[in-house]
Amino acid sequence: MNITVEKVIDALKYVDDPDLKKDLVTLNMIKDVKVNGNEVSFTVVLTTPACPMKDMIHKACVNAILHFVSKDAKVNVNMTAQVTSKKEKDETTLRDVKNIIAVASGKGGVGKSTIAANLALGLSKQGAKVGIVDADIYGPSQHIMFGVERDTPGPAEFNGAKKMSPVISYGVKINSIGFMAAPNQAIALRGPMATKALNQLFYDTVWGELDYLIVDLPPGTGDIQITLCSSIPVTGAVVVCTPQPVAISDARKGISLFQLEQLNVPVLGLIENMAWFTPAELPQNKYYIFGKDGIKNLSEELNIPLLAQLPLVQSVREASDAGRPAVLQDTTEQALAFTELAQNVAQQIAINNTKPRTK
């Protein structure tokens, strides 16, 4: 049976993207189809390098060729990625940033900054180009978590104007007001000055090409959150919370802020942090210190995806304090959990980017 390019393309129409619910050919994800005798090669362009379905799609493509074209075909599938975006083009320093993701919480102390750092690095480990803005103006911590508290942004130029170049750590571009303040210096800024500082972190930094820019927000629903949503082209937000009822009450307020008609920022998902504690000497035991499944239940109630349930682990805190976030440990359970979280967030961004604009 002669194998042709047309037969290969027709066969791949039977392979759907599990998230986007359309076939790969319709989604224009199949490139460079080549046939040489019984050898078939093509490229699948995924919507993110952090796609959790990568292996499944690869296997489905091979099976489609063997089933619909020829069982004797030798199939070579090259998996690559091009991150999607529906951010409008602009001529600011954000022009080459595809997706801006806010990491928010209703109250402090729920591990939001730790998760923001590990999310950024988790996406970067998958091959994405990533930056992070520490927008927690009064309590910046990303410069510590990335081990660069003694660094400062360098000089840069953009369209003839003097700007800053971000600090780079573990391949992630970072800017934070923490670089501009001494360790013992209080950052005493009134609302208008704080929002001005926020805009400077975004628009006075030459970010270059990024697939994802993570924003570590301060807790609550104040000036910083409102400024971010109204003046920065935010793709979506993830909300971090513990399962404690008091924390969930505040998380509801944070979610409702993003859903205000005048802001209308998609909530991509919820993260339940400190979901349980397992002592090293009792690895089969789970102690629900802050309550059980509070955010899981909230996600079901509000029909918002649950992106992860993460346990309370001492080494995660120690890794952040040491300036080397836990996701960089590679093979530990917590590193794998943060990697899966990054994949889930990337998955929700890709799904969101296929939806029509509502603003």
Residue 87 located in a structural domain: no
Mean pLDDT of 95-116: 96
Among residues 107, 176, 175, 192, the alpha carbon closest in space to that of 137 is found at 176
Q: State which amino acid sits at residue 168.
A: I
Nearest to 316 by CA among 340, 333, 294: 333
39 and 166, same domain (yes or no): no
The verdict on 41 and 108 lying in the same domain is: no
Q: Is 196 among the domain residues? A: yes
**Taking a C-beta distance cutoff of 8 angstroms, is the pair 214, 136 a contact?**
no
DSSP alpha helices (H): ranges in 73-127? 112-125
Q: In 60-160, at which residue ranges do the beta strands (DSSP E only) sit?
A: 74-81, 100-105, 130-134, 154-158
Q: Where are the alpha helices (DSSP H) in 185-332?
A: 191-203, 223-231, 245-258, 294-302, 314-321
pLDDT in the model for residue 194: 83
Is residue 42 within 8 A of residue 88, CB to CB? The reply is no
Question: Over 70: is that where the pLDDT of 275 sits?
Answer: yes
Residue 92 covered by a domain: no
pLDDT digits (tens, 9 = 90+) for 289-298: 999 999 999 9
Model confidence pLDDT, tens digit, residues 36-71:
999 999 999 999 998 888 999 999 999 999 999 999
3-state secondary structure 232-247: CCCCEEEEEECCCHHH
Domain boundary among 36, 52, 81: 81
Clarify whether residues 134 and 73 are in a common domain. no
- Whether residues 320 and 205 share a domain: the answer is yes
Q: The tokens 């082209």 sit on which residue?
A: 233
Token pair, residue 33, equals: 């189809």
Q: What is the CATH number of the domain that holds 106?
A: 3.40.50.300
| Whether residue 123 is found in the same domain as residue 258 | yes
**Is residue 359's pLDDT more than 60?**
no
- Residue 270 in any domain: the answer is yes
Helix (H, G, I), strand (E, B) or coil at 58: helix
Residue 88 lies in a domain: no
Work out the pLDDT band at 357, boundaries 50, 70, 90. low
Do residues 71 and 189 both lie within one domain? no
Q: Which of 125-139, 186-200, 254-268 comes out lowest in average pLDDT?
A: 186-200
Domain count, the chain: 2
Asked if 204 and 74 sit in the same domain, the reply is no
Residue 21 domain boundaries: 5-81
CATH number at residue 73: 3.30.300.130
Whether 348 and 268 have beta carbons less than 8 Å apart is answered as yes
Structure confidence at residue 358 (pLDDT):
58
Which of 81, 109, 127 terminates a domain? The answer is 81
**Residue 91 placed within a domain:** no
